[in-house]
Structure formats: structure tokens, C-alpha cells
Chain A
């Protein structure tokens, strides 16, 4: 690793995304940036807080060509991004070349992965000559992205190892944290393995091998309907009755389903949730009847639950909630109406509720809505789901399709008279 001689003399840093790229939804950009900072905060005592106004320690922008810092971008290919080493004014600032093809996949330039590298510079690391490190100068898509020993030694040379603190980001199964966990306890899910669920890897959900101790009979995921769906830390979470199902890109994590109220304690026991969404700041918000709960990871924030009228929602419950990446606003659906809420300004937008028919092709009385990591919006009701095109503002052709088959790992195509056979 290489240290450049500059580092931040404080541990709590702020960042601000000045502009996002139109190639990705704002939600996806904010999520990618937040996760990239998490990679470094996981191995140091540093914290990163997003600001939405004014100056921040690390100003992040998408720019092209000559952009006033003496280090012009060169168009598509070659140079993808650069960052300034820690210091006042421009120090820490991170620029992405708008003319690259930014993605969240292995095609083009993966924003999360490039950002992780650039933030290494913004924290004081130079390029490592050690091959395969995150801080190597050449872009290479990694699946999954993980810091190497060289990267960790470098950053910890500057800031030290993480202090003992309440975990903020990881979503850890409660069972792994409870030494007195009793797998045969009646509250435990019937089809969970005989061993406590193992801790899923943080931020590396997509290459976890199935454990040999996993029971041979997989859980039934052919849901006739779901209660709520959410994308949390870029993973799919499905809520059904008292349980939730957590998916990586190859299917359900071992050890799931798990009981929702055992993972997010303080939620009402033995019941379902109405809606769940991940807020812009990474907090997870649950709705049940006329109340809502805000969690930091799986820790309840103080003073919750609160009434949903805080949101300006004068209804007894909501059907679904999600953040629409198209504009970063939070939407609530109930029956044939929907509301638009500004989570940053903390106020309901004027003129709402409106009729759901503005979302052309989307049915009433939805079960759940989520924006997937592909930047597209998906609506769920019963066994069906609809993919929505944010540009044409209508459901895409070929939808609805079978949600259990396409999303939940059910091998049957539901919707036929004998579909439960």
C-alpha cells in the first residue's frame, strides 16, 4: 500500500453528492456511494454522514472534460474518476467522468466499485503496486468486492482499527447475537435449520455457498401473496405473515425465513407488517397499521413507534411504500390512492393523495413496491408483479408475470386453478 502523507484529523466525515449521473437513478447512486463508504468504515473508526446542502468534507460530482481542477477527463474509457487527497477546500473531493458508462453490474464501470477505490484516495491512500488490491490503479470488476489485507493495512495505518461500537450497517440475524438462542423454541420458524442461522456476509451477498447443514427441504416460497417487499442494502427482503425472506442473487439465504420481530425487535410479535422501505440515510422504516418504526440496522431508534400521521398520512394503514429513484421521493400507496413525501424536507408534497391510475397499468390494493438494483420499479399484488417504465410512465409489455416464480424461488408458475398442488 502507499500512504501519500495526508489524512483526515477527525473521524466523523461528511460527504455530499453534488450531482448524480442521469445514467443511474439518484437512489441507486446514493446507495452505491453510501455502500462504498461503508467498505472503509467497516475497517476503521471512521464514520461518513451524507449532507444534502452546503459544504461537506468530501464533495462528490459527475463531470466531464475540463472541469476546473487541472485534471481533465478524457471521454469514454481510460480515466474513469479521480479524487483529491485529504485536506481543506478541494481535499477529499471525488469526481467521476460523466462520459463513462456507469452501471451497477459488471458491464461498463461499476459505480460502487470505482467509488470504493476513489474514496481510498480521499482518505489518504495512494495507488498500491500490490496486484489485485482495491487500491491498484487499474479498474477490474470484482465479484464480490472485498478489501485485501494490503488495503486494510494501509487504511488502518492511517486511522486504526474500528472501535467497539454499535454496528450501524450490518443486518445480522438476531439468532447469531443471542447466546441463549433455542432453535426448538416454539416461536422459532418451523422450517429453519436445526442450527442457528449463520451470519450472512456483510456487503458480499452474492457468492455465499450453501452450507451443508442446511435442511434438504427448502422453505415454500410459492406465496399466494406477500405483505411487503423491500430492497435493503441492495438485497431483496420479502415479508409474509410473521416471517421475512432474505435473498441474494442465487436465491434465499440459508437460515431464512426468520421471524421479523426477532430480527427487528420491538416490532409487534406474531403479526405481519404492512410496508417497509429503506430511507435515503440507510434507516429502515416499517409500517404496521397506523404506526411506523425506524431502525438503524436492527436497532430501533429512540421514540419509536410513532403515528403515521407524522408523514401526513391520515389513513389507518398503508399498502406499500418505496423510494422512487426517478425523483428520490418516498411514495405511499393505499387502495386506489398514493401520496408523495419528501423525506429530506420531512413534508408531504402538495396535491396528494392522487389516484393510482397515474401509474398506468398498476393495479389498486397493492401488496408491495420496490425499486430493484437495476433501477426499475416493480409492483407486487397477489402472485403477480408488474415492471414499470419510469420514462413512459406505464407498465412494460409482457407484464404482469409470476412473482413467486421470477423473484421468490418458487419453481411453479402460479395463477392456474391448481397452482398450489
Chain B
């Protein structure tokens, strides 16, 4: 996935953590996740942040992930539901 998205493994890892934390990705096994799911999650997050929906973990997107924000998940019903099941 890192090579597809053209990012380092560290940035990918941080990005995925962020996307899971705020509900863009389900908190299930990372190995079961497709590149397309990841790209869609990034695009949704970019929409919330007012960025171009490239689906790439580009510099603007990584920067957005550092922006101060609210701790409530952006997408309710994915990460939240999963957490409740556990």
C-alpha cells in the first residue's frame, strides 16, 4: 500500500491510524484492507478537510492530519460500531 500511495511506511502507518481513529476505516485486520478501501477513506477525509479528493496521502493530507481538531469521529457507525462489538 505504501508503494501504491507513494508514501513511506511510517507515514502510511500514521495515516491509517488516523483514518481508523476518526471512523474512516474499520478497525479490523489491516491485512484484510484493500488499496481501494484505503483510497476511498483518504478521499472522504480530504472532503471533510476541504482538500482536493486525490485519494493520496500527499503532503497536504498529511499536514491536515496534524491540524488541531475535534476528537469525535467524522464517520459515525464504522469505528464506533466496531469498538462496541469488542
Residues of A participating in the B interface, judged by any CB pair closer than 8 Å: 2, 4, 70-71, 73, 77-83, 97, 100, 109, 114, 117-118, 121, 126-127, 129, 131-132, 136-139
Contacts and interface: CB of A to CB of B under 8 A. Distances in A.
Given A2-B76, A127-B74, A78 B69 contact: yes
Given A2-B76, A136-B48, A137-B22, A118 B70 contact: yes
A98 to B, nearest CB: 13
Interface residues of B, number: 18
B16 interface: no
Given A127-B48, A131-B50, A132-B50, A138 B72 contact: no
Contacts of B67: 138-139
B70 to A, nearest CB: 5
Contacts of B44: 129
Contacts of A81: 70-71
Interface string B63-86: 010111111111010000001000
A100 B66 CA distance: 14
Contact of A77 (B50, B66, B70): B66
A185 B44 CA distance: 61
A4 B76 contact: yes
Contacts of A73: 71
B68 A138 contact: yes
B71 A139 contact: no
B47 interface: yes
Nearest to B21: A79
A382 to B, nearest CB: 45
B70 A137 contact: yes
A114 B74 CA distance: 16
A260 B63 CA distance: 52
Contacts of A4: 76
B51 to A, nearest CB: 9
